[in-house]
Amino acid sequence: MKQEKTEFLGIPSFSSPAASGRGQVAVPERWLMRQLLRSLGDPPIRVRFWDGAEIEPVPGAARTTVVIHDRLALWRLIRHPMLHFGDDYSLGRIDVEGDLVEFLDTVFRHRPRMRSSGPTRRQLLERLQRVRRNTLRGSRENIHHHYDIGNSFYRLWLDHEMQYTCAYFPAADMSLEAAQLAKLDHICRKLQLKPGETVVEAGCGWGGLARHMARYYGVKVKAYNISTEQVAYARERVAQEGLADRVEYVLDDYRTIDGEYDAFVSVGMLEHVGTEHYHILGGVIDRVLKPGGRGLLHSIGRNHAQPMSAWAERRIFPGAYPPTLREMMMIFEPYELSVLDVENLRLHYARTLEHWLERYEAQLREVEQMFDAAFVRAWRLYLASSIASFTSGCLQLFQVLFTRPQHNALPWSRAYLYRDPLHKE
Amino acid sequence: MKQEKTEFLGIPSFSSPAASGRGQVAVPERWLMRQLLRSLGDPPIRVRFWDGAEIEPVPGAARTTVVIHDRLALWRLIRHPMLHFGDDYSLGRIDVEGDLVEFLDTVFRHRPRMRSSGPTRRQLLERLQRVRRNTLRGSRENIHHHYDIGNSFYRLWLDHEMQYTCAYFPAADMSLEAAQLAKLDHICRKLQLKPGETVVEAGCGWGGLARHMARYYGVKVKAYNISTEQVAYARERVAQEGLADRVEYVLDDYRTIDGEYDAFVSVGMLEHVGTEHYHILGGVIDRVLKPGGRGLLHSIGRNHAQPMSAWAERRIFPGAYPPTLREMMMIFEPYELSVLDVENLRLHYARTLEHWLERYEAQLREVEQMFDAAFVRAWRLYLASSIASFTSGCLQLFQVLFTRPQHNALPWSRAYLYRDPLHKE
């Protein structure tokens, strides 16, 4: 069972450090590492090789150190840094001394800005490598890879409502539980849900938003998801909570949504749709939204188009791609949907992830019993690098509220979103 | 003087209605008008010809009537409806019975949706017609055409601060004067201005925002504009108000902005920039914004890319183009600027324009003394069709707040925007 799970992540097991040979780090190896650091914008970090030799691009400024334990790890890092840093960190052939989040944030902040508006040669190559397309079948496989690891694993470190998306902290020191509920309310208020209305949700996770909307806003919800584990959990829980007459969970792809609804909502699914399918998603929304309907998309995004980190895309989120706002608009513009409000909650996702990482670290023994050491390290790296991506501005979190173009029954200002006690602090 | 001003609008004077011949409307003429109505989505309006004959696409549903006074006006309308409705309405050869705004709103609401994401053949033809490019020289001519009509004209119907952009109505029944001040504060709060900071404004109109920022937020402002009349007014007023040491008005193009600023702001200029220059505007922002800087663009926009109405572009706003959000993102994405907040104030612009039209109608005698009857009718049509464009969802108003990607000193929520007494109502 344990070994299976690591293979599931897909990290190939290589020869052991001892077998790959160590000896002293050679002059050309040091030179190549310097070139790599230069291409990363010479971040103020320290690199230590297996023989104790060190490189510091900004002498005296480093607060964190990356340790490369053997020659094979070095050569792999030089060949494809984005992929192999992750894999060899997971395998324990690369370590970080000092705070892992700080190390990653430092590296991300110093990366040179990509000036071109189009993809670079490296990006094009990386795109070619990405073969996990989000067709109907591809999406099932991609989603299975991440979300079907096991509900018991996610239950170790998520909140009670199993919200695996950015929380909303009206006050920065709020608990995760409170902030996840605040997120659910923030979305429901933006959508101006009224009792008796109907809502369709695309990609419902463990079903927390659907239950929240039904319970507190009196709406009927049809919620779609292709993760079998998540839907099984959601169905069990909605029955326990006596909401089964108002919430229906459908184990199917968003492309099959039909019917007519007052509201369309999707939280954390767009990252798995792929820009090549945005016109299909827009068409689904256009097909099912009533004339007075409102919609909300909540998604991780970017300031500038670039592929997902190769490691995260291969090992963690196959087929995922966080879009820019420009790309997101491809969903709305062909159907003349009217964007009313975009809110960027980037720092809220960093805070959410800090909570998750803290809970995760407190459950390491449990995680290691479920999986193995490489899995434990891989998921630590994934959570830590996600924090650093949001704090360094590499990732954004966009909530986009939209309506039909001629829907004029709108609040005069957004003040109604901020009248609850949470925002009074 | 009077005749000059009408020629300035550029409406050609044609032969008089009597000379163009009337007689009975012919069967082919009625057929062509029916085709035109069909292409407009058969709106529930009535068409009356010069001989009293009528057409109603939806019998009994019409509340407004367009009256075509002569044959030449009919043929021109059929040939190029968007252009010639405006011109012949201005010349009094076409009239509207019933409420003009309601008539236009009805027509705009029923227009068939443009399904394609690219431009249609007609749009491409219309783009070819648009020769008023926004080069340095072209921009000067285009801006001169609209904004240098005369300060005394705009003073007749604008508010005391001469705000010729969308006001902000925290409460719908607010006065125009109060709503324009609320708009200035809304922008200053979004920008989080602090005393002693520096601001650059691109396209400052009559300078009201710059003075407001200096007076109430304690910042130093450098404000650019290429309208000679507006800059002359702004300089006079800033001296009168004793703010000349904190506000500098520069008679120059946004492309020449230099220096370093804590905030970049532009309200109602982007419509005159042209998408082909968005990368230049982005480059200017990138060049002058400090690392902790914030920026705000306020612009009329669209849900779906399409050219400005041919009449408005020729007679009222040469070179103007309201962009979609997708197009606006071309300003930010190449420079990795981070969009924090987008607010769509479409209905606020409709309300603003209702105030302007009401004031304008109350000053008709003055306007007619300044110009002539055709000018009076042209500007009535422009204000009324602008209202209808915002109420029918053909036009949007986007306020986009942005920062450098790594600027993390952000408020935790937008609640701070809604804590003033105005929003408590």
Give the mean model confidence (pLDDT) for residues A288-300.
97
Mutation site, B104, B289, B342, B425, interface A, largest A CB count within 10 A? B342
Tens digit of pLDDT for each residue in B360-380? 999 999 999 999 999 999 999
Query: For chain B, which residues make up each domain, given as ranges?
Result: 5-110, 136-418
Residue B121 has pLDDT above 60, yes or no: no
Q: What distances in angstroms separate CA A30 from CA A71, A76, A104, one per listed residue?
A: 11, 14, 21
Which of the pair, B182 or B147, is modelled with greater confidence? B182
Tens digit of pLDDT for each residue in B31-48? 999 999 999 999 999 999
CB-nearest partner of A113 from B336, B339, B413: B336
A334, B303: Cβ pair inside 8 Å?
no
Shortest CA gap B163–chain A (Å): 20
Lowest mean pLDDT among A117-126, B313-322, B392-401: A117-126
Residue A80 has pLDDT above 80, yes or no: yes
CB-nearest partner of B414 from A109, A324, A414: A414
- pLDDT score recorded for residue A2: 45
Going by pLDDT thresholds of 50, 70 and 90, the confidence category of residue A400 is very high
B325, A346: Cβ pair inside 8 Å?
no
B391, A408: Cβ pair inside 8 Å?
yes
Give the mean model confidence (pLDDT) for residues B83-87.
94
Lowest mean pLDDT among A342-356, B302-316, B386-400: B302-316
Q: Give the mean pLDDT of chain A.
A: 91
Residue B12 has pLDDT above 90, yes or no: no
Give the mean model confidence (pLDDT) for residues B393-407.
96
CB-nearest partner of A324 from B329, B347, B415: B329
Tens digit of pLDDT for each residue in A332-391? 999 999 999 999 999 999 999 999 999 999 999 999 999 999 999 999 999 999 999 999
CA-based nearest residue in chain B for residue A118: B334
CB-nearest partner of A336 from B304, B325, B404: B304
d(CA A76, CA A71): 9
- pLDDT score recorded for residue A16: 59
Tens digit of pLDDT for each residue in A165-203? 999 999 989 999 999 999 999 999 999 999 999 999 999
Tens digit of pLDDT for each residue in A344-356? 999 999 999 999 9
A304, B396: Cβ pair inside 8 Å?
no
B334, A115: Cβ pair inside 8 Å?
yes
The β-bridge partners of B96 are: B66
- pLDDT score recorded for residue B367: 94
A334, B115: Cβ pair inside 8 Å?
yes
d(CA A55, CA A47): 5
Shortest CA gap A285–chain B (Å): 14
Q: What is the pTM of this model?
A: 0.94
- pLDDT score recorded for residue A119: 52
- pLDDT score recorded for residue A330: 97
CA-based nearest residue in chain A for residue B348: A412
C-alpha angle A27-A30-A35 in degrees, rounded to nearest 5: 125
- pLDDT score recorded for residue B120: 55
Lowest mean pLDDT among A214-223, B248-257, B304-313: B304-313
**Looking at domain B5-110, which of 3.40.50, 3.30.1050, 2.30.30, 3.30.1560 is its CATH number?**
3.30.1050
CA-based nearest residue in chain A for residue B398: A340
Contact indicator for B304, B324 with CB cutoff of 8 Å = yes
Tens digit of pLDDT for each residue in B252-303? 999 999 999 999 999 999 999 999 999 999 999 999 999 999 999 999 999 9
Q: Could you tell me if the ipTM is greater than 0.90? A: yes
Shortest CA gap A222–chain B (Å): 28
CB-nearest partner of A344 from B340, B344, B348: B340
Residues from chain A contacting residue B412 (CB–CB below 8 Å)? 169-172, 347-348
Residue B94 has pLDDT above 60, yes or no: yes
Lowest mean pLDDT among B20-29, B194-203, B233-242: B20-29
**Which of B173-185 are b and which e, b meaning 16 or more Cβ less than 10 Å from the residue's Cβ?**
ebebebbbbbbbb
d(CA B89, CA B66): 10
Residues from chain A contacting residue B343 (CB–CB below 8 Å)? 340-341, 414
Residue A3 has pLDDT above 50, yes or no: no
Mutation site, B102, B111, B116, B339, interface A, largest A CB count within 10 A? B339
A339, B325: Cβ pair inside 8 Å?
yes
CA-based nearest residue in chain B for residue A326: B326
B344, A346: Cβ pair inside 8 Å?
no
Residue A137 has pLDDT above 60, yes or no: yes
B347, A412: Cβ pair inside 8 Å?
yes
Lowest mean pLDDT among A201-215, B169-183, B233-247, B308-322: B308-322
Contact indicator for B147, B230 with CB cutoff of 8 Å = yes
Going by pLDDT thresholds of 50, 70 and 90, the confidence category of residue A143 is confident
Give the mean model confidence (pLDDT) for residues B220-244.
96
Going by pLDDT thresholds of 50, 70 and 90, the confidence category of residue B130 is low
Which of the pair, A21 or A292, is modelled with greater confidence? A292
Residues from chain B contacting residue A392 (CB–CB below 8 Å)? 405-406
Residues from chain A contacting residue B332 (CB–CB below 8 Å)? 303
Give the mean model confidence (pLDDT) for residues A383-406.
97
The β-bridge partners of B301 are: B396
A412, B171: Cβ pair inside 8 Å?
yes
Residue A116 has pLDDT above 70, yes or no: no
Which of the pair, B271 or B150, is modelled with greater confidence? B271
Going by pLDDT thresholds of 50, 70 and 90, the confidence category of residue A134 is confident
Residue A114 has pLDDT above 80, yes or no: no
Topology classification of domain A136-418 = Rossmann fold (3.40.50)
- pLDDT score recorded for residue B35: 96
CB-nearest partner of A418 from B172, B406, B415: B415
CA-based nearest residue in chain A for residue B173: A412
Shortest CA gap A44–chain B (Å): 17
CA-based nearest residue in chain B for residue A425: B415
- pLDDT score recorded for residue A120: 55
Residue B8 has pLDDT above 70, yes or no: no
B325, A330: Cβ pair inside 8 Å?
no
Give the mean model confidence (pLDDT) for residues B85-95.
96
- pLDDT score recorded for residue A1: 38
Give the mean model confidence (pLDDT) for residues A3-23.
60
CA-based nearest residue in chain B for residue A404: B393
A342, B346: Cβ pair inside 8 Å?
no
A406, B412: Cβ pair inside 8 Å?
no
A326, B324: Cβ pair inside 8 Å?
no
State the count of interchain CB pairs (< 8 A) between A and B.
Answer: 146
Label residue A28 exposed, middle or buried (CB < 10 Å: 0-12, 13-18, 19+).
Answer: exposed
Give the mean model confidence (pLDDT) for residues B196-217.
98
- pLDDT score recorded for residue B114: 66
B412, A170: Cβ pair inside 8 Å?
yes
- pLDDT score recorded for residue B144: 81
- Three-state SS sequence of chain A: CHHHHHHHHCCCCCCCCCCCCCCCCCHHHHHHHHHHHHHCCCCCCEEECCCCCEECCCCCCCCCEEEECCHHHHHHHHHCHHHHHHHHHHCCCEEEECCHHHHHHHHHHHCCCCCCCCCCHHHHHHHHHCCCCCCHHHHHHHHHHHHCCCHHHHHCCCCCCCCCCCCCCCCCCCCHHHHHHHHHHHHHHHCCCCCCCEEEEECCCCCHHHHHHHHHHCCEEEEEECCHHHHHHHHHHHHHCCCCCCEEEEECCHHHCCCCEEEEEEECCHHHCCHHHHHHHHHHHHHHEEEEEEEEEEEEEECCCCCCCHHHHHHHCCCCCCCEHHHHHHHHHHHCCEEEEEEECHHHHHHHHHHHHHHHHHCHHHHHHHCCHHHHHHHHHHHHHHHHHHHCCCCEEEEEEEECCCCCCCCCCHHHHHCCHHHHC
Shortest CA gap B145–chain A (Å): 31
The closest of B18, B11, B16, B72 to B371, measured between CA atoms, is B11
**Residues above pLDDT 90, as percent of chain A:** 79
Q: Give the mean pLDDT of chain B.
A: 91
Give the mean model confidence (pLDDT) for residues A413-421.
92
CB-nearest partner of B170 from A336, A342, A415: A415
Lowest mean pLDDT among A375-389, B17-31, B68-82, B220-234: B17-31
- pLDDT score recorded for residue A146: 81
Tens digit of pLDDT for each residue in A295-311? 999 999 999 998 888 89
Give the mean model confidence (pLDDT) for residues B123-138.
67
